[in-house]
Amino acid sequence: MSTLKLPIYLDHNATTPCDPGVMEVMLPYFTEQFGNAASRSHSFGWQAEEAVDYAREQVARLIGAEPKEIIFTSGATEGDNLAIKGVYEMYAAKGNHIITCVTEHKAVLDTCRHIEKLGGAVTYLPVNKEGLIDLQQLEAAITPRTILIAIMYANNETGAIQPVKAIGAIAKKHNVLFFTDATQAVGKIPVDVIKDGIDLLTCSAHKMYGPKGVGALYVRRKNPRVRLTAQLDGGGHEKGMRSGTLNVPGIVGFGKAADICRQQMQEEGERMSRLRDKLENALLQLGDTYVNGSRSSRLPHVTNISFNFVNGDGLMMGLNKDIALSSGAACTSASMEPSYVLKALGVEDELAHSSLRFSIGRYTTEEQVDFVIAKVKGVVEQLRAMRPIG
């Protein structure tokens, strides 16, 4: 007798459940140890500050940074805004040109559009059918006015991993800062800001089994020392870069989540990639089925698959009672446009609409994957059989 509980969650790129170990360390900071980390005159504040400092070390360790280089934020969207706008304002005397990529997250693309409205110049690099940028195109786009290269580490829709180390080397060669939105990569694959040549990096706790509403921005302190103009003014918290009372319970949870990921990453990555490959290979047997994005340079737990000759709405309706996953109709809520990421890869609208992103997680089981395979196959075959011929 199967004890399979429905619906099955396969949307870990959207968010992850909190790890029980994370919950456990957070709880005291809501009740007994509720102090404000900026209260310097009593033990409640000191305890909170100490907890924040420890979490800063844990997050820094996960990405090979120094604790002083970690600025806590409300999440990756805030971090992306602070990195891009903060560099644009601080380095205005040097130039006003930013290079990014068409498949970035909206938090980066919309921030770049904002910069354009302020009079900045932005180059949007295309990607190949694997979802990767061309390094020669990147280098050719650099001008004497270029101040920042903003390229994500791994894509949220396809899992494609950009050649980050090579991008870092190009940035360094031309004395341009390199910022990467590493929200999907940190905690899933080894990320090292020094080895990768990264100057600024954002990540978010809720993508790595931590709480929502807390993230971090890494800001390099030496070779070069990166400076930012604050986007929030106030009490000068977080070295003046991000004012506002710190979310102590969230930050404590983020630290713990980072620690668990660091210890389990390799083993977890291997397990998830085995389950992902099992799922992908089984679904490809349906025929007229395609994997979107790179299959060699991608995150271990993600696959994005298009099913030809299938109505996208029908596909989601047939699945979303039993399986939680994302469709290829744009990740930006409520819009029925085909995903701009898949379009940038050259995927036709109809195929983009009939694509599904499966993102496996820490608690996904073999039994769940078997159920998903059977269910998706059944729905796709049924929809194809109903399709008018000719």
Average pLDDT over residues 333-345: 82
pLDDT of residue 377: 98
Segment among 172-176, 269-273, 348-352 with least mean pLDDT? 348-352
pLDDT tens by residue, 57-70:
999 999 999 999 99
Can you give the pLDDT at residue 390? 53
Q: Does pLDDT of 389 surpass 90? A: no
State in words which class domain 20-259 has: alpha beta
- 8-16+265-386 against 20-259: fold identical: no
Q: What pLDDT is attached to residue 114?
A: 98
Domain 8-16+265-386 has CATH 3.90.1150.10: yes
Q: What is the pLDDT of residue 2?
A: 62
Mean pLDDT across 111-136: 98
Beta-carbon contacts of residue 311 (< 8 Å; ≥ 6 apart): 353, 354, 383
pTM: 0.96
How confident is the model over 122-128, as a mean pLDDT?
A: 98
Say what the pLDDT of residue 100 is. 98
* pLDDT, tens digit, 9 for 90 and up, residues 292-337: 999 999 999 999 999 999 999 999 999 999 999 999 865 444 557 8
Neighbour order of strands in the sheet with 289-291? 289-291, 302-307, 355-359, 326-327
pLDDT of 28 above 60: yes
pLDDT given for residue 343 in this prediction: 96
**pLDDT of 89 higher than 70:** yes
- Annotated catalytic residues are 331
Nearest to 293, CA basis, from 317, 309, 314, 276: 276
Q: How large a percentage of the chain has pLDDT more than 70?
A: 97
Residue 131 has pLDDT above 60, yes or no: yes
**Angle (deg, nearest 10), helices 366-386 and 248-284:** 50
- Rounded mean pLDDT, 357-369: 98
Where along the chain do its domains lie? 8-16+265-386, 20-259
Report the pLDDT value the prediction gives residue 333, as an integer from 0 to 100: 47
Contact 39, 51 (CB under 8 A): no
Per-residue pLDDT reduced to its tens digit, 139-165: 999 999 999 999 999 999 999 999 999
Per residue in 90-106, pLDDT (tens digit) is: 999 999 999 999 999 99
Model confidence pLDDT, tens digit, residues 198-252: 999 999 999 999 999 999 999 999 999 999 999 999 999 999 999 999 999 999 9
